[in-house]
Structures are given as C-alpha cells and as structure tokens.
Amino acid sequence: MTLKWLKIISAESPMPKSIAERANLIDFADAHHVLGQMAVAWAGKAKGKMKDVLENGLLRTEFDHRMLQFEMDRLERSLEGTGVQPVLLKGAAYVACGTKAGEGRRVSDIDVLVCENELAKVEECLINTGWAFDLGVDNDYDLYYYRKYMHELPPLRHNKRRTIIDVHHSLLPRTSRMKIRTDLMLKASISIEGRALRVLQPIDMFIHSAVHSFADGSFDTPARSILELHYLLQHLNVSEINKLIPRAEEVGGIKATATALWALSTLYQDETAASLFRQYGLKPVSSLVRYALTQKINNVESATFAKFLLFTRSHFLRMPLHLLLLHLGRKFMRRALKLIKKADPQES
C-alpha cells in the first residue's frame, strides 16, 4: 500500500477514493516529512479540509526555507572577504537553486562542502561570528572520532539562533571503503546566481543523493529519499542522463547510483531509472540489503531487524572492520543488543 502512495504524494497518481485511505495517506506523508512536497504537488487541486491539512505542511516548509535563507545570508556574511565559496549539499542546495527536489521540502541543518585547505579558515570565521561546536558532541572521544574518522568538523551550532552548520571537506569519511572523488565534484560545482555559495552540478547532485542514501546513510527517511532521487532524475536533460553512469564510474559512486536506480525502478516504477538500469546492465546491491530497504519503505515501524541491518551496514561502509568493532563496542553495543532483542520476542 505504501509503495503506491509515493506516486500519489507526487501527484503522479490520483487521490484514493476512500476517505479513510486518504486520512492514512496524510498521516504517512506527515510522519515521513513529505507533507510539504505533497502540498506543492497538489497545489490548486486539493479542496476543503484536505487543502487545510496540506497547507499545514506547506507552511512549515515555507518557514524552513526562510530560515535557510537567513542562515545562508549569515554564512556569507561570516565568510565575507575570504573568497571561500562553500558548496551547499542536499536539501539546502535543492532549495537554494530552486529545483523541484527543493519545493515543499523540509530543511533543517545546512550541510556545506569546502576544500580541505579552506577548512581551517572556515572554522575560524564561523567560531568568530557566534558558532561553536555543538554541545551534543560532548566528550573528547566524540570530538576525536569526528575529526579523525568522519568527513566533517563536528557540527557547529550558532550560540544565539541555535541553528546548525555541518562543514564537510569530503563526501564520505576518510576511512570509508568507498572512495568518492569529492575533488572532481567540487571542481564541477556551479555558482548560485547572486550568492557567494555554490551547488553540485545536476548529475553530481543525483550521484551524491544516491551515495548519501545508500552508502552513507541507513536509509532512515525512505519515502523522502525515493522522492528526492525521482525529482533529481527528472530534472536531468537528455545529455545529462547519458553522462550519468560514466560520471558515477568516474567519481566512484557507481554502486550507490546503481542501487538508487534499482530502488527507483522497483519501488517507484520510474521509467527513466528502469531503462538506464537495463541499458547499462547494472548490478544492484546484495539481496539481503534489498530486502531490508524494501522492508523499510513498506513499514518503517516494524522493520526493526531491517533497521539494525542497515545501521550496521552503513557503519560497515564507513569504517574498517577493526575500528568498527571498537566503535560499536563503545557506543552502540547496548543499542545494537536492544534491537536484536526486539526483533526476537523470545529473548525478552
């Protein structure tokens, strides 16, 4: 049931006739943070109470976009005169360059990418203008973990506004098994008109979204990720589509891109994705992981085993095994044990 709902959310399928189903669909969209996107897709077509409810979602995303604009202003102000032009990533990028993937999309933290040699300067400017390392990262081990193994400074939170900026210098951790050519993607980045900020070029945006969803993340927001990939793919023109797979090979993101195209063709029935998948004879990720992904999108609440699988997997990809065990041992073993117990009722 939820698979067909994605198409309704994007207004590519009609609203269910049953009111109860409509009500459940709204609850689903809201829980998966895509109500605003649904509101945009159905703008002008929804009436009465449905319109009121969709409006709630839209107002929240409009607020997010205003906050984003303010944060971008503040970021530019902070870096004035340095010549550094950070590349916006993910939601912030989609909203800032006005692409379909950004319409009605919720945005909270800003993720930016800078060259490694600009990192110190950016850190200095931000610290001088009211940002500080987020207190959530509140012990030396976490700070050490972030700097050494992750792909970003610890997140920075503004002391007055409480908003967060994540500054990355690479799209994946140094210790990751997958090597992404961040340098190539940075080089091909394009400037946002009227701003001292940049975004990735459209095909790199798709590849990064695929990497983020399937190689880096644990697919926590499946509905949102699928819609995002669909809109990003839709945005590519014919020549860009022809360059997508070669580029994914070039930057080292082919596995994630293949999985993304698989997900789009099977879970969303996206024609473009399906034909690309066939055309290049791509291989998706292992069947166990495919099972987990499908479980997640079908029924997020009860997919605890799937969640555990994806959680370990994403960490598996980020760190070499011995480091992973050490890290898991220290931070996540209790949580991992809880998940195992939950998945097996006899254990309780």
Binding site for other proteins (CB under 8 A): 19-20, 22-23, 26-27, 30-31, 48-50, 52-53, 55-56, 59-60, 62-63, 66-67, 69-70, 73-74, 77-81, 125, 128-130, 159-161, 345, 348
Instruction: Considering the complex, state which of residue 117 and residue 348 has its C-beta at the smaller distance from other proteins.
Output: 348
Residue closest to 205 by CA, chosen among 162, 166, 251:
251
Instruction: Considering the complex, state which of residue 66 and residue 283 has its C-beta at the smaller distance from other proteins.
Output: 66
Indicate the SS3 state at residue 158: strand
The percent of the chain in helix, strand and coil, each rounded to the nearest 5, is 65, 5, 30
CB of 180 to other proteins, least distance (A): 32
Indicate the SS3 state at residue 156: strand
CB of 158 to other proteins, least distance (A): 10
Instruction: Considering the complex, state which of residue 53 and residue 97 has its C-beta at the smaller distance from other proteins.
Output: 53
8 Å CB contact between 116 and 170: yes
CB of 155 to other proteins, least distance (A): 19
Instruction: Considering the complex, state which of residue 59 and residue 188 has its C-beta at the smaller distance from other proteins.
Output: 59
Distance CA 168, CA 115 (A): 8
CB of 83 to other proteins, least distance (A): 11
CB of 339 to other proteins, least distance (A): 13
Instruction: Considering the complex, state which of residue 241 and residue 343 has its C-beta at the smaller distance from other proteins.
Output: 343
8 Å CB contact between 158 and 131: yes
Distance between start and end Cα atoms, the chain: 31
What tokens were used for 312? 């370990």
What tokens were used for 344? 């097996």
CB of 54 to other proteins, least distance (A): 9
8 Å CB contact between 88 and 77: no
**Which helix (H) or strand (E) element contains residue 15?**
none
CB of 31 to other proteins, least distance (A): 6
8 Å CB contact between 278 and 227: no
Instruction: Considering the complex, state which of residue 172 and residue 192 has its C-beta at the smaller distance from other proteins.
Output: 192
How many CB atoms are located within 10 Å of the residue 258 CB? 22
Distance CA 151, CA 167 (A): 9
Instruction: Considering the complex, state which of residue 140 and residue 301 has its C-beta at the smaller distance from other proteins.
Output: 301
Instruction: Considering the complex, state which of residue 61 and residue 259 has its C-beta at the smaller distance from other proteins.
Output: 61
CB of 48 to other proteins, least distance (A): 7
Q: Which residue type is seen at 320?
A: P
Whole-angstrom CA distances from 203 to 156, 161, 172, 348 are 29, 34, 18, 48
